[in-house]
Structure 1
Amino acid sequence: MHNRPQGTSPGETTLFRNPVIPGFNADPSVCRVGDDYYLVTSTFEYFPGVPIYHSKDLVYWRQIGNVLDRPSQLDLDGTPCSKGIYAATIRYHEGTFYMITTFVESVTGARRNFYVTAADPAGPWSDPVWLPEAPGIDSSLFFDDGKCYVMANRQPPAGQQYPKHMEIWMQELDLKEQRLTGPKFSLWDGAMKFIHAQEGPHLYKIDGWYYLLIAEGGTGHTHSVTIARSESITGPYEGCKMNPILTHRHLGHRHPITNVGHADLVETQNGEWWMVCLGSRPYGGPYRNLGRETFLVPVAWEEGWPVVNPGVGKVELLERRPNLPEHRFPSLPACEHFDSERLGHQWLFIRTPRGEFWSLTERPGHLRLRLKPESLADTANPAFVGRRQEHMAFAARTALDFTPQSERETAGLVLLQSTDFHYRFELTLRDGVQVLRLTERRAAVDTVLAEHAVEPGRQRRLYLKVEAIGQSYGFYYAVEPEAWIPLFEQADGTLLSTDVAGGFTAAILGMYASGNGEASGSYADFDYFEYQPLD
């Protein structure tokens, strides 16, 4: 992954550019094993779940797999947008990697905690071990003196004293029996009484003290990181007088980095301390199309407490590098030609893929999507394969071979925020004529922005492209390579922001095919998918 500040050469290594993992990588958790670092993030309704990244220097990260990559591990059927897999924690203990997370099942908030294990972080990971007696979200693990503990949040047993008042609980986990055992302990019910939504706990033992790091204030503009400590693992915990130790809520909605919070600490092999946290980069106003991304910030210890970015007190876009040897990985190619028998780790489905609707082998060098009755407007698994938007300015293109047989059959490019907010750039039929149509879906209402009759070129294919410069999105097509014709320009990109659409995810770009309610024997072939940053 490329992460060199603009204007520097490969040999100049004093600074790096945040975020270290851009585009829809929220709730980061990190652990170190020797000289290697591993990090996981949230995925909500997308499959596979929980990407896992590897780094040698905390700056350059490479995705090495997905923790939940089998349907037996993750059943997302019927899961609403922004539910599903919430914040995960990754830890390593005595030769085994552990990932624990919460599966939020429905709009009503039904939630279940589970963990999986692996000897190799690249997988395979085990099937879930469910913890039915573990309430709340953002579950975490801590190993101490031969014991393992689970933490998460819950409503205080005595009741909530103010809106979204939560507490952090802890209980021992018997790894042999794979169940919680002993009493639940209340560790913390808020560092600042006017701040709500205590969640995201992580526990550390440093110089004989137990430190409890949590996220408070919700995951929006008032997000923050607070910390407390105790000489006993079960408390009582003393809140840091400097809390919150990290927040950007006082910097305004148009600051380059907003809603900073939900952090995890890691000590390097050289004795430095760093924090990974989520944050967002608004652009074109207070709009966050890229969702919540993973940032890196230095930490120092003063008088027994962590100070985040001393002298600065915030996360910056340009930051000094860790005292670690620079270690880059080969960049992913800008163009995916679908020459492999498996999709790369970066590709996503909407919910658990059901049915044999996609193939890389039926027509080698192409992604074939068979039309399914399900559409993007359904809380289901449509025939869609996509990837994260990572830049404020980008171009994405593909070559489509598709012959619609009815007015319900469609295939093309999609810019997705949710079932109710997205753009569909599709080939279909109208009155027996093939037409290319751009549909804006806003608050569950479809509006056709443009439509034009097209006939595929000599190779019976149609080229599709979207270009985004900030919040201005343009849609182009061609029947011959590079002979681009605008279908619609200056579409409103804020539609793809969480600030308009709501939710916890971000913009996803992808290929799509649908029978829109009807079964179909048709399919669409995509020769390639190219994504290029323009900023």
Structure 2
Amino acid sequence: MKQKPIFFLLSISLLFLFSFNEATVKDTLPKKKIERGPIFSNVVYQGDDDIYKNNPLKPDEFYSPVLQGCYPDPAITRKGDDYYMVCSSFAMFPGVPVFHSKDLVNWTDLGGVLNNVSEFNPHNTGISQGVYAPGITYNPHNDTFYMIVTAFSGGLGNIIVKTKDPMKGWGSPVKLAFEGIDPCIFFDDNGKKGYIVHNDAPDKGKELYQGHRVIKVWEYDLENDKVIPGTDKIIVDGGVDLSKKPIWIEAPHLYKKDGRYYLMCAEGGTGGNHSEVIFVSDSPKGPFKPASNNPILTQRYFPKDRADKVDWAGHADLVLGPDNKYYGVFLGVRPNDKDRVNTGRETFMLPVDWSGVFPVFENGLVPLEPKIKMPEGVTENKTGKGGFFPNGNFTFTENFTSEKLDYRWIGLRGPRENFISVTKKGLQITPFEVNIKEVKPTSTLFYRQMHNTFSFATTIDYKPASEKDLAGIVCLQNERFNYVFGITKKGKDTYILLERTEKGQSKIIASTKIEIKKPLRLQVKAKGDNYEFSYSLNGTDFENLGGSVSGDILSTNVAGGFTGALVGLHATAANDTKAE
């Protein structure tokens, strides 16, 4: 992926960071249609990647990535035997997904930290806005968890939220008086003293080249939850070696070990040059000296055409595991057969050797493998069973009969609860008068694409009333790049159509007139870059519509931004696509 679009997007994000006006929820929710919306049932998502078929697990192994699909920028903390991990969510809702584990292998999804739309409202932002690059830290001094993140919506900026128990929810966001991105909070002196580190622009007039960034530290007032004015200091300028013009030093984390302070950062930008580097100091305010063996994690040195490629590794965090050994979580990507990134940046894990002065990711400087050893003492891999988050190849079936909807189902720019309701027949979506191409909350229930080879199918009970009505499946990278596969009207006739939107311009790939006598079965299948959309009028015999189409527009290579592809159950009362 070229870096320039990412830098451009990030620059725009920073430019407008504090320019959004807070709007009331009442003013931003789209109007609902009164007519009955579609009812979706029997959703089946099935992942079938060769990498997992060719690398079956042994009893003492588990797969990495531990979180497949768009779960980037991981941060992790520990309290006793409990581990909590957060990731970026951008304009997906709720914001900042949080996970819990007892052993680093088996994880449960706790939903999102920012789940109150009156406090976090990414209603009018592009999908790559919202919130990203969170930090999470437990403070033993006051038995409190802190989640800190940058919010590119609602005029929030950098915010911090707290809780005594992540299982029971989080408090309200507190705005912090500093600019920049990627904040992380660190506690010293057994939790009695706090520091915040973050990425920022160089001092005015001192930017030396495009991508030149710095890491700053602030002292933190624990009693009043604010940075202490005048305590900010630049502790890293540019990166490991400023003479080599390193770009995008970011995602800083502070650690203390054996009386010394370690600052670990990402360097090189989220792309093919991504890496993780580390510095050491006798004080949390520096000066920090880089390790001689940097980088300590990267995939940038290997052939681009290598088999089973994992790339872009970096943006990491460390934690002491249940076996008293360190582990690192970090983002990476698994490109498809055309070297395109459709599943987005995912959360990977590796053991970390910190027996010397500096930590080193074990096997983090060779091509990454799909499996790692479970921590010593962990005896069972329960992923995908008993409520634990799945990884590897798996089948997820949703009949919408549970009282609690799985947290993997998410909204975009607003809560899913604003447009869904569970009926005896399945999940009903009440359509918003919003098109999928608008930067508003959409009436679409999304699921992350977690495999390069997958299928996603659902039964839909729906009879559109007008040409403005459309419902079906959407495959979406962002508001300007997506596929819509749905049922609509043309005059008095009912049609099913496949629409491709690229750079905001829509084109009908194929459409056909149908007669609806009972619920339809809709399906999308992907094998690498090839996506196929099919429908069944009788539930068993499928008709392909549009042939095999390219998933190029569902990749960050083509669409840009920071997210992975989403597949969703979609309905709109503002359809602008005309069947042909």
Q: Fold-level match, TM-score > 0.5?
A: yes
- Once the two structures are TM-superposed, the CA of residue 321 in structure 1 deviates from its matched residue by 2.7
Map of 1:483 onto structure 2: 541
2:356, 2:311 → 1: CA distance? 29
Map of 2:208 onto structure 1: 161
Map of 1:358 onto structure 2: 420
2:417, 2:59 → 1: CA distance? 48
Map of 1:525 onto structure 2: none
Map of 2:330 onto structure 1: 277
Contact 1:229/1:239 (8 A) holds in 2? yes
- Once the two structures are TM-superposed, the CA of residue 114 in structure 1 deviates from its matched residue by 0.4
Cα separation, partners in 2 of 1:147 and 1:215, compared to 1, 3 Å: same
Deviation track 1:255-305 (CA, whole Å, cap 9, x = no partner) reads 410111100011123221111100000011210100000111121125401
Which secondary structure state, in structure 2, belongs to the residue aligned with residue 500 of structure 1?
helix
Q: Is structure 2 residue 492 aligned with structure 1 residue 436?
A: no
- Once the two structures are TM-superposed, the CA of residue 36 in structure 1 deviates from its matched residue by 2.2
Contact 2:183/2:196 (8 A) holds in 1? yes
| Residue correspondence of structure 1 range 59-74 to structure 2 within 5 A | 59-74=105-120
Map of 1:113 onto structure 2: 158
TM-score w.r.t. length of structure 1? 0.90
Map of 1:369 onto structure 2: 429
Which secondary structure state, in structure 2, belongs to the residue aligned with residue 417 of structure 1?
strand
- 1:167 is aligned with what amino acid? V
2:136, 2:125 → 1: CA distance? 24
Contact 1:89/1:141 (8 A) holds in 2? yes
Deviation track 1:492-518 (CA, whole Å, cap 9, x = no partner) reads 112211011111001101111112179
1:103, 1:210 → 2: CA distance? 28
1:258, 1:192 → 2: CA distance? 23
Deviation track 1:307-347 (CA, whole Å, cap 9, x = no partner) reads 22159545322233322413425266721111134422111
- Return the structure number with greater helix share: 2
Deviation track 1:128-175 (CA, whole Å, cap 9, x = no partner) reads 0111x2211111010001111111111122521121211111112212
1:253, 1:98 → 2: CA distance? 39
Cα separation, partners in 2 of 1:317 and 1:7, compared to 1, 3 Å: closer
2:443, 2:101 → 1: CA distance? 33
- Once the two structures are TM-superposed, the CA of residue 7 in structure 1 deviates from its matched residue by 7.1
Q: Is structure 2 residue 279 aligned with structure 1 residue 228?
A: yes
Contact 2:133/2:182 (8 A) holds in 1? yes
Q: Is structure 2 residue 304 aligned with structure 1 residue 260?
A: no
Q: Is structure 2 residue 234 aligned with structure 1 residue 186?
A: yes
- Once the two structures are TM-superposed, the CA of residue 181 in structure 1 deviates from its matched residue by 1.1
Map of 1:295 onto structure 2: 348
- Once the two structures are TM-superposed, the CA of residue 118 in structure 1 deviates from its matched residue by 1.5
2:137, 2:364 → 1: CA distance? 31
Deviating more after overlay: 12-21 vs 427-436: 12-21
Map of 2:9 onto structure 1: none
Deviation track 1:64-83 (CA, whole Å, cap 9, x = no partner) reads 22111221331112112211
Cα separation, partners in 2 of 1:311 and 1:383, compared to 1, 3 Å: closer
Which secondary structure state, in structure 1, belongs to the residue aligned with residue 354 of structure 2?
strand
Contact 1:114/1:129 (8 A) holds in 2? yes
Cα separation, partners in 2 of 1:7 and 1:322, compared to 1, 3 Å: farther
1:214, 1:9 → 2: CA distance? 33
Map of 2:17 onto structure 1: none
Deviation track 1:16-51 (CA, whole Å, cap 9, x = no partner) reads 222111110100111122222211100001101111
1:311, 1:173 → 2: CA distance? 33
Deviating more after overlay: 302-311 vs 363-372: 302-311
| Residue correspondence of structure 1 range 297-316 to structure 2 within 5 A | 297-309=350-362, 313=366, 315-316=368-369
Map of 1:29 onto structure 2: 75
Contact 2:104/2:321 (8 A) holds in 1? no
Contact 2:121/2:153 (8 A) holds in 1? no
| Residue correspondence of structure 1 range 399-414 to structure 2 within 5 A | 399-414=459-474
Which secondary structure state, in structure 2, belongs to the residue aligned with residue 81 of structure 1?
coil
Which secondary structure state, in structure 2, belongs to the residue aligned with residue 296 of structure 1?
strand
Map of 2:375 onto structure 1: 322
Map of 1:468 onto structure 2: 526
- 1:62 is aligned with what amino acid? T
Cα separation, partners in 2 of 1:155 and 1:24, compared to 1, 3 Å: same
The counterpart of 1:123, out of the listed 146, 150, 168, is 168
- 1:399 is aligned with what amino acid? T
- 1:70 is aligned with what amino acid? N
- Once the two structures are TM-superposed, the CA of residue 357 in structure 1 deviates from its matched residue by 2.5
Map of 1:515 onto structure 2: 573
1:82, 1:40 → 2: CA distance? 17
2:429, 2:466 → 1: CA distance? 17
- Once the two structures are TM-superposed, the CA of residue 368 in structure 1 deviates from its matched residue by 1.1
Contact 1:472/1:492 (8 A) holds in 2? yes
1:407, 1:89 → 2: CA distance? 46
Map of 1:41 onto structure 2: 87
Contact 2:274/2:314 (8 A) holds in 1? yes
- 1:191 is aligned with what amino acid? V
Deviating more after overlay: 503-512 vs 402-411: 402-411
Instruction: Report the RMSD for the aligned CA atoms in angstroms.
Output: 2.3
Contact 1:418/1:501 (8 A) holds in 2? yes
Map of 1:415 onto structure 2: 475
Which secondary structure state, in structure 2, belongs to the residue aligned with residue 334 of structure 1?
strand
Map of 2:18 onto structure 1: none
Cα separation, partners in 2 of 1:467 and 1:139, compared to 1, 3 Å: same
2:416, 2:70 → 1: CA distance? 24
Identical residues among aligned pairs (%) = 36
Map of 1:455 onto structure 2: 515
Contact 1:21/1:61 (8 A) holds in 2? no
Map of 1:136 onto structure 2: 180
- 1:368 is aligned with what amino acid? Q
Deviating more after overlay: 65-74 vs 199-208: 65-74
1:364, 1:356 → 2: CA distance? 19
- 2:107 is aligned with what amino acid? W
- Once the two structures are TM-superposed, the CA of residue 199 in structure 1 deviates from its matched residue by 0.8
- Once the two structures are TM-superposed, the CA of residue 14 in structure 1 deviates from its matched residue by 3.4
Contact 1:299/1:309 (8 A) holds in 2? yes
TM-score w.r.t. length of structure 2? 0.83
Structure 2 unaligned spans of 5+: 1-45, 388-394
Report how many aligned residue pairs link the two structures.
509
Deviation track 1:91-143 (CA, whole Å, cap 9, x = no partner) reads 1113221111001239xxx8710011122212311110111x22111110100
- Once the two structures are TM-superposed, the CA of residue 358 in structure 1 deviates from its matched residue by 2.0
The counterpart of 2:407, out of the listed 345, 349, 356, is 345
The counterpart of 1:495, out of the listed 535, 553, 556, is 553
- Once the two structures are TM-superposed, the CA of residue 177 in structure 1 deviates from its matched residue by 1.2
Which secondary structure state, in structure 2, belongs to the residue aligned with residue 88 of structure 1?
strand
Contact 1:153/1:169 (8 A) holds in 2? yes
Cα separation, partners in 2 of 1:470 and 1:9, compared to 1, 3 Å: closer
Structure 1 unaligned spans of 5+: 519-535
Q: Is structure 2 residue 75 aligned with structure 1 residue 15?
A: no
Which secondary structure state, in structure 1, belongs to the residue aligned with residue 211 of structure 2?
coil
Map of 1:150 onto structure 2: 196
- Once the two structures are TM-superposed, the CA of residue 254 in structure 1 deviates from its matched residue by 3.9
- Once the two structures are TM-superposed, the CA of residue 192 in structure 1 deviates from its matched residue by 2.9
- 1:179 is aligned with what amino acid? K
- 1:192 is aligned with what amino acid? D
Contact 2:333/2:341 (8 A) holds in 1? yes
